[in-house]
Amino acid sequence: MSWRVALLLAIAVGVSAAQQPAGAPGSAGAPAAQNQARPDADSGRPGEITIPAGTQIPLKLAQAITTKNAKPGDSVYAETAFPVVINDKLAIPAGTYVQGRIAQVRRPGRIKGRAEFLMHFTTLVYKNGYTVALPGSVENMPGAEKQSVKDKEGTIQQAGSKGKDAATVASTAGTGAMIGAIASDGSRLKGAAIGGATGGAAGLAIAMLTRGNELTLPEGSSVQMVLDRPLTVQEARIRQP
């Protein structure tokens, strides 16, 4: 092979190397494919389970709560009614204890204003004693007929008492009409009208002086808790002893 042929081959090899894209297979600057494995965003750190914010956890109250005697700062006790599973891993077993605090209490008014209270859940206690700070609030009241959640903070509100007040006025008005008709010496219709008006006024006074319905949640009431922020638990520590 003459020196001219050798020179042409060297130039051809140099041009081919310059045209090869950076990062192409075989190039010196290409990172190895096995080193670019995408991390699993749901798994968290090894040995940890992260429960996302917005997860709903059904609870059952372990004690009754009523606005008649509840005060801000009072403790609330409940238990999880169903297990929470994340990526096929048990994160919160059923029967795990949940503790919270009552933040606000409002008794029903005598003329207007419904009974309501606000509570937050603060602590998760596993049966083996493992304890985790809990950022939870009330999302819903499943099965409740006279209570509802009125805002995003989780304030529980009692149904109004308009029907009860109307029944009180009607009852006293009817009683007054009967008494007026019996006691009247003249026209029974006139006596009934006077008695009815008097009884209606008395019933209205009674309704105005009587508080509305207290908010009472019996022991065992269902409460739907929602996580306000992600909750991370140690997988090894949540296992039952």
Least confident among 102-106, 178-182, 204-208: 204-208
Average confidence (pLDDT) over 40-61: 83
Q: How far apart are CA 188 and CA 128, in angstroms?
A: 77
Same domain (yes/no): 198, 115: no
DSSP secondary structure string, 158-218? EPP-HHHHHHHHHHHHHHHHHHHHHH-SS-HHHHHHHHHHHHHHHHHHHHHHS--PPPEE-
Query: What span, in angstroms and rounded, lies between the C-alpha atoms of 165 and 199?
Result: 14
pLDDT at 44: 61
Same domain, yes or no: 132 and 227: yes
Residues 136 and 233 in one domain: yes
Residue 80 lies in a domain: yes
Is there a domain that residue 187 lies in?
yes
Indicate whether 109 and 169 sit together in one domain.
Answer: no
Comparison of pLDDT for 41 and 170, the residue scoring more: 170
- Could you tell me if 68 and 92 lie in one domain? yes
Mean pLDDT of 215-237: 95
Q: From 238, 237, 223, 231, select the one nearest 58 (Cα to Cα).
A: 223
Helix (H) / strand (E) element for 37: namely: none
Assess contact for 131 and 122: CB atoms under 8 A. no
Q: Which range, 9-13, 206-210, 227-231, has the best average confidence (pLDDT)?
A: 227-231
pLDDT band at 240 (very low <50, low <70, confident <90, very high): low
> What residues does 99 pair with on adjacent strands?
77, 123
Give the residue-averaged pLDDT of 211-222. Answer: 89
For residues 62 and 89, state if they share a domain.
yes
Q: Which of 86, 131, 118 is nearest to 223 (CA)?
A: 118
pLDDT at residue number 128: 94
**Residue 147 domain-assigned?**
yes
Q: What is the pTM of this model?
A: 0.62
pLDDT 10s digits, 124-164: 999 999 999 999 999 999 987 888 898 888 999 998 655 44
Please state which of the ranges 42-51, 90-99, 221-230 shows the lowest mean pLDDT.
42-51
Residues 61-120 have pLDDT tens digits of: 999 999 999 999 999 999 999 999 999 999 999 999 999 999 999 988 655 679 999 999
Residue 149 sits in the same domain as residue 232: yes
Q: Is residue 31 part of a domain?
A: no
Does residue 43 or residue 141 have the better pLDDT? 141
Whether 190 maps to a domain, the answer reads: yes
Same domain, 129 and 166: no
Answer yes or no: is 176 within a domain.
yes
Structural domains counted in the chain: 2
Nearest-angstrom CA–CA distance, 28 and 31: 8
Q: What is the DSSP letter of 13?
A: H
Tell me the pLDDT tens digit for each residue of 22-39: 444 444 443 433 333 333
Residue 193, pLDDT above cutoff 50: yes
Instruction: Domain of residue 64: give its range.
Output: 48-160+214-237
Residue 112 sits in the same domain as residue 201:
no
Instruction: Give me the chain's average pLDDT, please.
Output: 75
Q: 204 and 169, same structural domain? A: yes
3-class secondary structure, 9: helix
**Which CATH number fits the domain that encloses residue 63?**
2.40.128.260
Phi/psi at 75 (5° precision): -80, 150
